Structure 1
Amino acid sequence: MSLILQNIAKHIALTTAEQELFLSKIEVHHFDAKTILLHSGEVCKYSYFVNSGILRSFNINDNIVEHVLNFACAGYWIGDMYSLITQKPGNLFIEVLEDAELALLSKENQEILYTEIPKLERFFRILTENSLVVNQERLMDNLSLSAEERFEKFCSKYPTLIQKVPQKQIASYIGVTPEFFSKMKSKILHR
């Protein structure tokens, strides 16, 4: 069973016919590292499911500082939720960090699947609710935890990314400057 079907099976059961219909509505593509899948100001047309590789979503503020919102590795979904839902231009970039194989589900095909396989609406509602919970927890962590504690949570959530993702992107994700991150990491390693 493909990884995307395993991901769906965690929340709902699809018949073989429903699985085939679902798979007929996705596009699988390979992307090289450093490919920008979505630029700020564009309308997000796809939800991306990561079969392999690593992606990140980020924005760039007026001072040209990047803010990493999410990382997605194998088994994760990623997209600009605001733009995908409203079909208005978003403010996120989505970049491939490591060569990736992605399953793309267009907004149009997602809507068709909701009609043809109604339980998929439940699946995507669960994903959206889980995403809301994770984002709320991350916001609370940023308000109440120290940078060290946020880094420890990052290491727990993404243990394989520590060696694969540039340190400045990890620093951005936990909300510190690369210089502070380097000093903090050195201090942690010397304990």
Structure 2
Amino acid sequence: MYETINRNVSRYVRFTDEELGIFNSLLKLQSVHKKTILLHEGEKCNFEAFVIKGCLRKYYIDPDGTELIIQFGVEDSWIGDISFSIYDPKPSRVFIETIEDSELFTMSPDDKEELYRRVPKFERVFRILMQRNLAVTQDRLFASISKSASQKYLEFLEQYPSLPQRVPQHYIASYLGISPEFLSKVRKKLAHR
């Protein structure tokens, strides 16, 4: 049951079986139905989640009422709110919702602090995960201001090859920062190449 998440964190640091056992003991397994909102804007985020199975989206609603998707969480990835912190918890500005029935491992801020105390090597793992998250966010920012819709869509397909079959087209358009109608035009243009 823990094989995927253990492999995920072991990409960055070598752990003993005992250290992984401590990590696993602090995880909570959750089965969540699709269309479940795990975090609402204004709430304090009390978890980070690792996706074992399923698909989630992290989004916010702009002042005009438009949903803007920031991240998709799919198998073998982490999703949470950056304001997740035991030291300075802030109300969330985002929503996290399941798109499909999902199985997740979650960890609370208190359990994460306990993990750091008992297995300090995990601070390195979560620092690397945070750095990777920031790099992806920066790349998306650069892409949003410098790349065409076609280039953004092709990069999306590289990053999430199975998502066009799993999520509604308007979610993909929201993630890319374009209208669903414009995404249809982009897809038709690329199909004719």
Q: TM-score, normalised by structure 2?
A: 0.96
Residue 175 (structure 1) aligns with = 177
Residue 113 (structure 2) aligns with = 111
Identity of matched residues, % = 41
Q: Secondary structure at the match of 1:41?
A: coil
The range that moved more, 175-184 or 146-155, is 175-184
How many angstroms does 1:63 deviate by?
Answer: 1.2
Which structure 2 residues correspond to residues 77-116 of structure 1 after superposition, within 5 A? Answer: 77-84=78-85, 86-116=88-118
Q: TM-score, normalised by structure 1?
A: 0.97
| Contact 1:148/1:184, CA 8 A, preserved across alignment | yes
How many angstroms does 1:187 deviate by?
Answer: 2.2
How many angstroms does 1:95 deviate by?
Answer: 0.6
Q: CA RMSD in A?
A: 1.1
1:135 is the counterpart of 2:133: no
| Contact 2:56/2:100, CA 8 A, preserved across alignment | yes
| Contact 1:54/1:99, CA 8 A, preserved across alignment | yes
1:59-105 Cα distance to aligned partner (Å, 9 max, x none): 01111101000001110000011244631101110010111100001
| Contact 1:46/1:84, CA 8 A, preserved across alignment | no
- For 2:159 and 2:169, how far apart are their aligned partners in 1? 16
How many angstroms does 1:150 deviate by?
Answer: 0.2
Aligned length: 191
Which structure 2 residues correspond to residues 30-69 of structure 1 after superposition, within 5 A? Answer: 30-69=31-70
How many angstroms does 1:17 deviate by?
Answer: 1.1
Gaps of 5+ in 1: none
| Contact 1:34/1:95, CA 8 A, preserved across alignment | yes
Q: Secondary structure at the match of 2:101?
A: strand
How many angstroms does 1:190 deviate by?
Answer: 2.8
Gaps of 5+ in 2: none
1:152 is the counterpart of 2:145: no
| Contact 1:54/1:96, CA 8 A, preserved across alignment | yes
| Contact 1:43/1:84, CA 8 A, preserved across alignment | no
How many angstroms does 1:48 deviate by?
Answer: 0.4
Which contiguous aligned blocks of 4+ residues in structure 1 show a shift greater than 6 angstroms? none
Report the residue type matching 1:136 in the other structure. Answer: Q
| Contact 1:44/1:83, CA 8 A, preserved across alignment | yes
